[in-house]
């Protein structure tokens, strides 16, 4: 327990033998329960999780539950590979069922410093935010260690996720070092959470629609001997498509269903203007039809900028300020 709050850690693992056991070993003692989720690994990941569970699970009636001998490490195994989002969803579901109040996520590859857990969970525990996430882009000496191709991709996804989610001040949306309250888990309907690598982007959109406060916490980038399981050829198209669908869903849920908001109107005019400008330019190239394509495109761009400004203003109250700066 941490500051009278029960804490859980979800450890999603896929082919992380040689890493996952060390991650479990280093999780601080104040963590009440560790949900180690093997996502149908093909190596010895499951054996390593079970070995750590047998070692660390001792009679501890003070832990969350109905008393008696409680498991600090809860081994969970998927029969089919569902992706990192699916593994985290499973951990979240178990934590909610167990009554855990704040749940954080630590990857099984050792890239997340266990000594920073308290910094991640503090804004949620003290009520400043409903969801806290690491951000490797806040401090220059942190993102200097990030490979350049990852940095460029991260910045691009940051801006796409800001537009889709409505959290216009947040960065590094792919950072999986997070903490979330039980209230936010229930409000965001995590049963419907995206299960591919874009789960973190998807969750931000759901949290925005649920009116949850989110905060960035400075964290360093750590890269060791682990291998990434991301295939960028499939990752980029799938996440981009998901973000676009979520963006449209957020606009409908927040700005259309109850009453038509100026944000939705401006986005509609902006998108329509851009499409008309592009189509007009194409028609001008292939036919003698005269269409004021530049004017239509400029009209659309203007309204998109106005829509973004209004959207940002409408969501300013959902971005919390973190006072802790890491060196």
Q: Are residues 242 and 288 in the same domain?
A: no
Q: Are residues 219 and 94 in the same domain?
A: yes
Q: For residue 234, what pLDDT is reported?
A: 67
Q: Which of 317, 310, 2 is nearest to 163 (CA)?
A: 310
Q: Which of 1, 56, 74 is nearest to 32 (CA)?
A: 1
* Averaged pLDDT for residues 172-201: 91
Q: Are residues 89 and 215 in the same domain?
A: yes
Q: Are residues 35 and 113 in the same domain?
A: yes
List of residues 6+ apart from 152 with CB closer than 8 A = none
Average pLDDT over all residues of the chain: 87
CATH, residue 150: 3.90.550.10
Residue 100 contacts residue 70 (beta carbons within 8 Å): no
Residue 325 lies inside a defined structural domain of this protein: no
Q: For residue 29, what pLDDT is reported?
A: 93
Residue with the bigger pLDDT between 153 and 182: it is 182
Count of the separate structural domains present in the chain:
2
pLDDT bucket at 65, cuts 50 / 70 / 90: very low
Residue 2 lies inside a defined structural domain of this protein: no
Pick the last residue of a domain from 226, 247, 268: 247
Using a 10 angstrom Cβ sphere, with 0-12 exposed, 13-18 middle and 19 or more buried, the burial of residue 181 is: buried
Write out pLDDT tens, residues 248-305.
999 999 999 989 999 999 999 999 999 999 888 888 777 777 778 889 999 999 999 9
Write out pLDDT tens, residues 136-157.
887 665 555 666 667 777 788 8
Q: Are residues 152 and 198 in the same domain?
A: yes
Share of the chain above pLDDT 90, in %: 65
Sign of CA dihedral 13, 147, 238, 183: positive
Q: Are residues 137 and 213 in the same domain?
A: yes
Q: Residue 81 and residue 109: Cα distance in Å, rounded?
A: 17
Q: Are residues 194 and 140 in the same domain?
A: yes
Q: For residue 64, what pLDDT is reported?
A: 47
* Averaged pLDDT for residues 314-323: 82
Helix 262-286 with 232-255: angle, nearest 10 deg? 130
Q: Are residues 311 and 182 in the same domain?
A: no
Q: Are residues 221 and 265 in the same domain?
A: no
pLDDT bucket at 327, cuts 50 / 70 / 90: very low
* Averaged pLDDT for residues 229-235: 60
Pick the last residue of a domain from 219, 247, 275: 247
Residue 198 lies inside a defined structural domain of this protein: yes
DSSP-based three-state secondary structure for 137: coil
Q: Which helix (H) or strand (E) holds 48?
A: helix 45-56
Q: Are residues 186 and 289 in the same domain?
A: no
Q: Residue 224 and residue 19: Cα distance in Å, rounded?
A: 11
Q: Are residues 158 and 287 in the same domain?
A: no
Q: Which helix (H) or strand (E) holds 180?
A: strand 178-181
Write out pLDDT tens, residues 14-29.
999 999 999 999 999 9
Pick the last residue of a domain from 206, 222, 247: 247
Write out pLDDT tens, residues 152-176.
777 888 899 999 999 999 988 888 8
Segments forming the whole domain that contains residue 275: 259-318
Residue 138 lies inside a defined structural domain of this protein: yes
């Amino acid at each position: 327990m941490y500051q009278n709050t029960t804490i859980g850690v979800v450890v999603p693992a896929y082919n992380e033998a040689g890493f996952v056991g060390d991650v479990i070993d280093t999780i601080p003692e104040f963590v009440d329960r560790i949900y180690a989720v093997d996502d149908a690994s093909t190596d010895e990941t499951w054996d390593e999780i079970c070995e750590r569970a047998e070692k660390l699970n001792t009679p501890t009636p003070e832990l969350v539950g109905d008393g008696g001998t409680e498991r600090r490490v809860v081994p969970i195994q998927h029969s089919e590979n569902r992706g990192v989002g699916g593994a985290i969803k499973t951990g979240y579901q178990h934590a909610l069922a167990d009554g855990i109040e704040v749940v954080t996520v630590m990857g099984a590859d050792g890239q997340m410093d266990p000594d920073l857990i308290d910094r991640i969970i503090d804004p949620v525990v003290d009520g400043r935010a409903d969801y806290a996430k690491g951000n490797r882009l806040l401090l220059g000496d942190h993102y200097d260690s990030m490979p350049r191709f990852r940095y460029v991709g991260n910045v691009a996804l940051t801006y796409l996720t800001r537009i889709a989610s409505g959290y216009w001040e947040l960065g590094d949306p792919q950072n999986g070092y997070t903490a979330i309250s039980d209230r936010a888990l229930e409000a965001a309907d995590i049963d419907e959470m995206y299960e591919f690598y874009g789960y973190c982007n998807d969750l931000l959109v759901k949290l925005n629609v649920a009116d949850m406060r989110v905060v960035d916490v400075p964290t360093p980038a750590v890269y060791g001997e682990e291998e990434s399981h991301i295939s960028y050829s499939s990752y980029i198209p799938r996440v981009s498509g998901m973000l676009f669908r979520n963006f449209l869903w957020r606009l409908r849920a927040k700005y259309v269903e109850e009453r038509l908001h100026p944000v939705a109107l401006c986005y509609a005019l902006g998108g329509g203007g851009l499409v008309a400008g592009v189509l007009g330019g194409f028609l001008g190239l292939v036919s003698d039809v005269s269409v004021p394509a530049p004017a239509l495109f400029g009209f659309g761009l203007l309204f998109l900028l106005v829509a973004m400004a209004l959207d940002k203003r409408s969501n300013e109250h959902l971005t919390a300020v973190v006072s802790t700066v890491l060196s």
